[in-house]
Structure 1
């Protein structure tokens, strides 16, 4: 899962559907990517980073870490 992205999206009070519209993909497609079932394309990562005014590395975890449960 993309834990940083989920946290940032919720902090901005945005839904998965709103981010899906930004990327011009289905809500289900977005959900699969956020949950780590599919990978974000590089252009999608750039769009999201620009949307939030952050660097890609501040939002997206490498795939080797993305599917691990975040611990406190």
Structure 2
């Protein structure tokens, strides 16, 4: 799930339909992308980032975000 994108979209008062229109996809396709069921294409991410005037990495989570583990610190560090 693209939680940062969802929060940003809601903050700006945009609907999922608005975002689908922005990147030129069907509403259902956009919802699937926002929910993490399918991936955004690079050009879609660039379009969204440009629209919000933010770097891509401030909006989109890596595809395997939930699989990332926080490294454990060794004692004494």
**TM more than 0.5:** yes
**Distance across 1 between alignment mates of 2:26 and 2:66:** 21
Q: What residue number does 1:10 align with?
A: 10
Structure 1 unaligned blocks of 5 or more: 68-72
Instruction: Report SS of the residue matched to 1:63.
Output: coil
Structure 2 unaligned blocks of 5 or more: 68-77
Q: How many residues align?
A: 67
Consecutive aligned runs of 4 or more in structure 1 exceeding 3 Å deviation: none
Q: What residue number does 1:48 align with?
A: 48
Higher relative contact order (CA 8 A, sep 6+): 1
Structure exhibiting the larger radius of gyration computed from Cα positions:
2
**Distance across 1 between alignment mates of 2:66 and 2:21:** 23
- Structure 2-normalised TM-score? 0.84
- Structure 1-normalised TM-score? 0.89
